[in-house]
Amino acid sequence: MDTLETIQKENSELRKKIETHDDDLKRLRGVLYQLIGGIFNQKTQRYVMSSYIDDLVGTSSSEQEAEAETEETQWPTTRQGDNNEERIRKLEETIQKLEKKIENMEKRQRIGL
């Protein structure tokens, strides 16, 4: 009888451990889901992001998403980072235009126009 009670007690302890680990995994999946959603730009990297989420939950993307994913960069970029990149690009274009204007003005001054 002692052996049966010991086995039942161990069984109960193991079930509690499994339940605890299951709860831990659910929480970790939730955290990872939020992190993945926050790291990748949801407009420009939605397929890469969905691929990571699929891996997390054990599903697979459609073939169309897999093809589109190859067009996106694997390196995460945030919405703010993409916005800043665009702003910097516009500023650089403006600077180039202004530099050309200054250069043309200097040429006109040298010529005497």
pLDDT in tens, 23-48: 999 999 999 999 888 888 777 888 88
pLDDT higher than threshold 90 for residue 104? yes
pLDDT tens-place string over residues 45-92 = 888 888 889 998 888 866 555 555 555 666 667 778 888 889 999 999
Q: Are the C-beta atoms of 74 and 49 separated by less than 8 Å?
A: no
Tell me the two tokens of residue 34: 């939020």
Determine the pLDDT at residue 82. 81
Domain ranges of the chain: 1-76, 78-113
Report, as an integer, the average pLDDT of 1-21: 92
Tell me the two tokens of residue 12: 């109960």
pTM of the predicted model over 0.75:
no
State the residue for tokens 């990149």. 85
Tell me the two tokens of residue 109: 């001054």
CA distance 83 to 2: 69
Cβ burial of 45 (10 Å; 0-12, 13-18, 19+) is buried
